[in-house]
């Protein structure tokens, strides 16, 4: 996994928000098992709605610095539709679920110019996982957000 500079992550998630960030290879499949706990005990996710979406972004000024990858991120033009990511293996009472990364569903084509092995700025996606907790007693409904940031690069074989 690539290391991103704090300034880059702050562009996407703000100063104190959770973020999952990584560098993927074109057409790579992977997943993240997520677990929520408070005070050492699982957070009960029963009754929650969990969804995740990403959208294509434009990366510029990519530099590999002493503090990790640094770059600017902006809207991709023309603006694409968001992509819904798959959530599986939900175990609400244990506070766990799995976020599936299947890049083939993101509509990146092997001939995308930003996948070229010599491209200065790779394909990028940002988004979020949204966990919506229902109202419970005197506690109002609330959402928990985890930001997402992925760079997708060529493996040098495909493009």
What is the per-residue pLDDT across 48-87, written as a single tens digit (0 to 9) for each?
999 999 999 998 988 888 877 888 889 999 898 898 999 9
**pLDDT, average across residues 108-130:** 80
Q: Which residue has the higher pLDDT, 138 or 156?
A: 138
Q: Does residue 112 carry a pLDDT above 90?
A: no
Let me know if residue 149 belongs to a domain.
yes
CB 149 within 8 A of CB 122: no
Let me know if residue 19 belongs to a domain.
yes
Say how many domains are in the chain: 1
Let me know if residue 99 belongs to a domain.
no
Let me know if residue 121 belongs to a domain.
yes
Let me know if residue 69 belongs to a domain.
yes
pLDDT of residue 1: 44
Let me know if residue 55 belongs to a domain.
yes
* The residue to which tokens 């799995």 are assigned: 98
Mean predicted lDDT score pLDDT of the chain: 85
């Amino acid at each position: 996994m690539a290391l991103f500079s704090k300034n880059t992550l702050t562009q996407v998630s703000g100063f104190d928000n959770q973020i999952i960030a990584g560098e993927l290879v074109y057409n790579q499949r992977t997943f993240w098992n997520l677990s929520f706990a408070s005070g050492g005990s699982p957070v009960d996710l029963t009754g929650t709605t969990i969804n995740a979406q990403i959208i294509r972004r434009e990366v510029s000024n990519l530099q590999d610095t002493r503090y990790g990858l640094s770059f600017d991120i902006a809207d991709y033009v023309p603006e694409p539709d968001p992509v819904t990511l798959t959530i599986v293996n939900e175990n609400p009472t244990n506070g766990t679920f799995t976020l599936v990364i299947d890049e083939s569903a993101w509509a990146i084509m092997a001939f995308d110019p930003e996948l070229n092995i010599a491209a200065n700025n790779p394909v990028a996606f940002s988004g979020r996982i949204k966990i919506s907790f229902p109202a419970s007693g005197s506690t109002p409904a609330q959402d928990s957000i985890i930001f997402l940031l992925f760079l997708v690069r060529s493996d040098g074989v495909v493009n």
